[in-house]
Amino acid sequence: MQYPNFHLARFIDRPNRFIAHCRLIETGEIVTVHVKNTGRTTILQPNVTTSLVESHNHARKTKYDLVAAKKYDRFWINIDSQAPNKIVKDGLANNDIKLPGINQITQVTPEVPFLDSRLDFSGIGDHQKNFFLEVKGVTLENGGIAAFPDAPTTRGLKHVKTLQKALDKGYLSYLLFIIQMEKIKAMTIDIDIFEPLAFEIFKAQKRGVHVIAYDCRITPDSLTLNQPVPFDLNQKFISDGLPSSIQKRT
């Protein structure tokens, strides 16, 4: 996917989950921007280079969306929480995403209610194989290892349980991690942040839920699905120690 009208800026601070202050590199102007990820992402540190997408919607309170940041000034991480589902929709429709047990995907439907949940996608594969798939975007990285989540997620835990219930109803079930960066060696769960999720995924895999991951090629103005990355629950993840950029209210 492509972002039009992007501008480079330096991150200043993030007063709350929804907004941040940045200084445009081209003009030096300080602007208030909408952060397209309400999580506790650690990449937004003072003076980090960011990519802002300009909006021409005059009804908006903020003129820019913050969609990506350059970690250690070496590589870009996309933090747009809406982007993973967009590229997965195309990836499934074009059969660029390979689902174990399915050779050809023939139908894809987004945002499908199932029992007491709503899963990101349902679909039909060859030989009328029906499936459910849940997508999780990943922005946490250290030393080439990507991890999820960046904060405890009861919603994510519920989705893994729902995927197991889908198995009981005869569906194929998939948990797909979209790593919003490239050159990743392995994908895992950060048990220090939310160990119950790792335990539930372990149970789900034993029962037959397929857990897969893909990384992405990232530029300041684009995000493109790249290639599969091994998912390994046994992979140790050590946090880089960067604090959350969200400032506590006093």
Radius of gyration of the chain (CA): 18
What CATH code would you report for 6-75?
Answer: 2.40.50.580
| Cα 74 to Cα 58: distance, rounded to the nearest angstrom | 34
pTM of the model: 0.95
Confidence of residue 247 (pLDDT cuts 50, 70, 90): low
Q: What is the pLDDT of residue 154?
A: 96
Check pLDDT > 50 for residue 174: yes
* Per-residue pLDDT tens digits for 24-44: 999 999 999 999 998 878 899
String of DSSP letters for 110-149? EEEEETTEEEEEEEEEGGGEEEEEEEEEE-EEETTEEEE-
Q: If you average pLDDT over residues 179-203, what whole number do you get?
A: 97
Confidence of residue 54 (pLDDT cuts 50, 70, 90): very high
Check pLDDT > 50 for residue 249: no
Burial status of residue 115 (CB atoms within 10 A of its CB: 0-12, 13-18, 19 or more): exposed
Q: If you average pLDDT over residues 52-61, what whole number do you get?
A: 92
Q: What is the pLDDT of residue 125?
A: 97
Reading the block at residue 199, the tokens are 């335990």
Check pLDDT > 60 for residue 191: yes
Residues of the chain with CATH 3.40.1350.60: 83-228
Reading the block at residue 226, the tokens are 């790249």
Check pLDDT > 80 for residue 224: yes
What kind of architecture, by CATH, is found in domain 83-228?
A: 3-Layer(aba) Sandwich (3.40)
Q: Angle at CA 15, nearest 5°, toward 139 and 190?
A: 25
Check pLDDT > 80 for residue 244: no
Check pLDDT > 50 for residue 248: no
Local structure of 163: helix, strand or coil: helix
Mean per-residue pLDDT of the chain? 95
Q: What is the pLDDT of residue 80?
A: 97
Residues of the chain with CATH 2.40.50.580: 6-75
* Per-residue pLDDT tens digits for 58-97: 889 999 999 999 999 899 999 999 999 999 999 999 999 9
